[in-house]
Amino acid sequence: MRINKIEVKQAPDLVAVLDSCVGDGYLQGTGGVLADVDIDYQSDRRGEVKEYLERRYNTGGKQRVFSAGTLTTLKIKAAIKDVARVHKVPLSITNYITAIFDDDKMTWTDLFKLAATNRKVKDFITRYPQVIEDIRPLMGQPRSASVHASAILITPETKDGQPMECFDYTPIKKVDGVLVSEFDGYSLDEVGLLKNDCLGIKELSKINQTINECNRVYNAGLSFEEIVKGDLDDEKTYQILSDGHCQNVFQFSSRGMTKYLMDMRPDCINDLIAANALYRPATLESGSAEKYLLCKRGEVEPQYLWGTYDALKDSFGQLTYQESLAQIAREVGGFSLGEGVSLLKLISKKRIDKIHAMKEKFLSGAAQRGCPEEDAVKIWEMIESGGSYLFNKSHATAYAITAYVGAYLKANFPTAFYTVALQWADDKEISTLMSEMEQCSVAKIVPPDINVSDVHFTTDYAQDKIFWSLTRIKMVGSKAASYVIEERTKNGLFTSLENFIHRIFKHKLKRYEYWDDPDNTEQQSRVPVNARHIRNMILAGCFDNIEGVDVITDRYRIVQQAAELLGFTLSEQDFPADMVLKPHYWSMQQIALSGVG
């Protein structure tokens, strides 16, 4: 199946981006070969996209929509474990060795490089040479079939005038009720089917959730489109990126990219587009990324060869985008759009023989247009050396706009931004976000409060306080937290620790021997909150407000009271007498149990 005609449609109110790789240019440059349709959606709504495609195209009782299959291949850890099991190598030894491998993408050669510096790996290879020899032909071989994470395919409605279904094009099986091809994506390309990569991106979900939160709390009237239509020139947005406060900003959160933005000090959307295209290994190695910074800072004057200004003015004379290559090929060498796209594909695939023929055509066309020969040769060298790693500007622009919207929300509505970011974050990300908030945000994380905290982070927008989540307290799971919240919602706020314990343990409270009394299974079957939960909530600070804690050492009094109400006395081992009056002891307990101090 090939493309015979392209009709370009543009949604209103989007940022205009030069893209000479579409329309007739694409059709001529690729011979009409099908491209993948690659679109990112909110991760929490990807299922809706698939349902829409099925409603739209599975008509007349015909099944045309299905998911691509994928093959997982045997990597070094699994290969060693499988082969070692056959050779009866003790499992403990196998697990110990494979745990040493940080990167499961290691090759057979990488294994021997590691052995040169790691005595344990060297000893394993020496002791079990047959295992190592047997894994070599197995690595990279298909291990199992599964469903591709994003690829959805739609087969043509008819062929030669006859109605068709997906079963007429490829073997299909059902996996958990989903139609899945037994071919992987590459094989389906050969069949000639249109592949839609519908990828769920959590950053888009986070942005949407933050916008909804801003509208709910501040009545801000925001939408993604409204932010983009605001000329993309908000000074506060560019300032936080220039200052390196990039955590949870799409594509800009890595340490290297953050440093690059700090060096760049972006002040317009073109800078963000360029950052996406330039901060990649090949462009960093080529020097283009550094030259952009030097020109941006005014340390070096950008240089433009004959006829390249229009194509390179947005990137200070650096060949950065695929579209720029096609534009230069057209405006300097006299190529058609299609020939420019074709040239890009040849260079990216290193088709040396065909590239040479293109060079002669380019130099000849440049001469006819009056380009000096010296400039024409330099332009060609720039095209040939850079063409293999250029980035698609439309792609970079979509990423940059998404990043801008996230950064805009962060700069102008920090409390809402961090509230949502924390809800999505894992433990490592939470630590990083907390550190950043201390540097740049009015929003502050505070310890949990038994009358405020929820299963998620809870925010007091009037005071810009984000209360720690109950479920983030060690050992307090969602069942225990939900039980506490349900009691609080139904019967009002808790007034004291004693009030809390009597209300939570509504049934007759069996006396505890200690915090981890294993004999209270009957009580726990009725109430998912136990003594250990209460201890950890006290140490995390949940009862500070209702018990009038003025200094952190007052928590010892609350712990003693809890133990008395639960029927036991505290042990010296759990709360050493020489430590209970020292504030740092209680701070360490709080940080260990909740992560916030």
Q: Which percentage of the chain shows pLDDT scores above 90?
A: 62
Domain boundary (162, 177, 203) is at 203
- Single pTM value for the model: 0.83
Asked if the structure places residue 233 within a domain, the reply is yes
User: Over the stretch 51-105, which tens digit does the pLDDT of each residue have?
Assistant: 999 999 999 899 999 999 888 889 999 999 999 999 999 999 999 988 888 777 7
281 shares its domain with 362 = yes
Q: How many domains does the chain have?
A: 4
Over 50: is that where the pLDDT of 285 sits?
yes
Spatial distance between the Cα atoms of 558 and 84, rounded to a whole number of angstroms: 55
Question: Mean pLDDT across the chain, nearest whole number?
Answer: 88
* C-alpha distance across the termini of the chain, in Å: 62
Q: Single out the residue in 121, 140, 159 at which a domain terminates.
A: 140
Q: What angle do CA 498, 501, 507 make, to 5 degrees?
A: 130
The pLDDT score that the predictor gives to residue 179 is 92
Residue 551 sits in the same domain as residue 497: yes
Q: Does 364 reside within a domain?
A: yes
* Distances, alpha carbon 386 to alpha carbons 185, 280, 291, 307, 585, in Å: 29, 13, 14, 18, 59
Q: Are residues 355 and 227 in the same domain?
A: yes
| Separation CA 134–CA 112 (nearest Å) | 15
| pLDDT surpassing 60 at residue 524 | no
Looking at this protein, which amino acid is placed at residue 25? G
- Can you tell me the mean pLDDT for 138-157? 88
Residue 545 located in a structural domain? yes
Confidence category of residue 548, pLDDT binned at 50, 70, 90: very high
Q: Which domain holds residue 82?
A: 75-140
- Assess if residue 406 is contained within a domain: no
- Higher per-residue pLDDT: 367 or 144: 367
Antiparallel, parallel or unpaired: β 178-184 and 444-446:
unpaired
Distance CA 370, CA 386 (A): 24
Kindly state the average pLDDT of the residues 22-39: 59
Report yes or no: 406 and 188 within 8 Å, Cβ to Cβ. Answer: no
152 SS3 class: strand
| pLDDT score recorded for residue 347 | 84
Average pLDDT rounded to a whole number, residues 580-594? 91
Are residue 566 and residue 452 in the same domain, yes or no? yes
Which residues, in sequence order, are CB contacts of 469 under 8 Å at separation 6+?
Answer: 448, 453, 454, 455, 456, 457, 458, 481
Token pair for 69: 């299959």
Same domain, 63 and 84: no
Co-location of 240 and 347 in the same domain: yes
